[in-house]
Amino acid sequence: MNPHDADNAMAADYVMGLLDGAEHAAAERRIATDQSFAQAVGTWRERLADLDLSAEETPPSPALWQRIADATKIAPIDALPSARAALRGATLWDNIRFWRGLGIGGAVAALFFATIMIGALATSRQLRHDMIALAQRKPIYVAVLVNDTTKEAGAIVNAFSNGRVELIPLRPIEVPAGRTLQVWTLWDRAIGPKSIGVTGQSRTLQLDLESLPETVQDQLFEITLEPEGGSPIGRPTGPILFKGNAARAL
């Protein structure tokens, strides 16, 4: 797991209350000092807000309470030493049957609760895994790329929480012989556009943003028509076919 995925998983665990004391304290320190981690926590809070509001309160069933009561039950009162035995000097401290029964009952109870906790922990981890998988299937930013002249949408860019970014054509894009479609992004005009994908045909393309900062609101994406193999100067040289800015997905 790379550092980005590890931080994302830790942020999800924090929001869902799955961290123990030390891990929880470490996460709260990072929220106060690490802007990127704090943003990941905020993002998970937004994603899970609807799930939290839709969750119904589920109280323990009567059968569960009965199992807990049965597991913690000790010897009945009538099994304790009789008054006659007590008059002979026998005390509770000397009653091996009592302590044996109490020990067995305690061991059963401890085992029972350990089983419950292990099962709950496994369920929580699985729940986190399922929620992360669900969230990662939904983009956090979407850019609709439009042709300035025709005002027609030609492609969309989806940016996901795990750093994956994809381009999906909405219509066939004609690529003349000896030419290439090149995808660019611009988040800082002082740095300029960066190439994030090259293809010789109109198709779904996984874009390469691993070496770039995370996608942000209003980040520009565009497709240009370049010489075969891509722009020779590392900057767009051909006409801009489609462009659009990233917006927070609903």
What is the per-residue DSSP string for 68-109? HHHHT----GGGSPPHHHHHTT--GGG-HHHHHHHHHHHHHH
Residues 22, 25, 31: CA angle, nearest 5 degrees: 140
Bigger pLDDT: 119 or 149? 149
163 Cβ neighbours under 8 A, 6+ residues apart: 4, 209, 210, 214
* Total residues belonging to the chain: 250
CA–CA distance, 25 with 19 (Å, rounded to integer)? 9
DSSP 194: E
CA–CA distance, 242 with 38 (Å, rounded to integer)? 34
Token pair for 186 = 């611009």
Instruction: Provide the pLDDT confidence category of residue 185 given band limits of 50, 70 and 90.
Output: very high
pLDDT surpassing 80 at residue 93: no
**Cα–Cα separations (whole angstroms), residue 44 to 14, 51, 128, 209, 213:** 9, 11, 11, 21, 19
Is this prediction's pTM over 0.75? no
Q: Any idea which residue has 């990233």 for tokens?
A: 246
211 Cβ neighbours under 8 A, 6+ residues apart: none
pLDDT surpassing 60 at residue 15: yes
In 3D, which of 13, 42, 27, 5 has the Cα closest to residue 126?
13
Instruction: Provide the pLDDT confidence category of residue 188 given band limits of 50, 70 and 90.
Output: confident
Helix and strand counts by DSSP (H, E) for the chain: 6, 8
pLDDT surpassing 60 at residue 204: yes
**Cα–Cα separations (whole angstroms), residue 237 to 2, 31, 197, 208, 234:** 35, 43, 15, 20, 9
Residues 124, 45, 219: CA angle, nearest 5 degrees: 125
pLDDT surpassing 60 at residue 123: no
pLDDT surpassing 60 at residue 36: yes
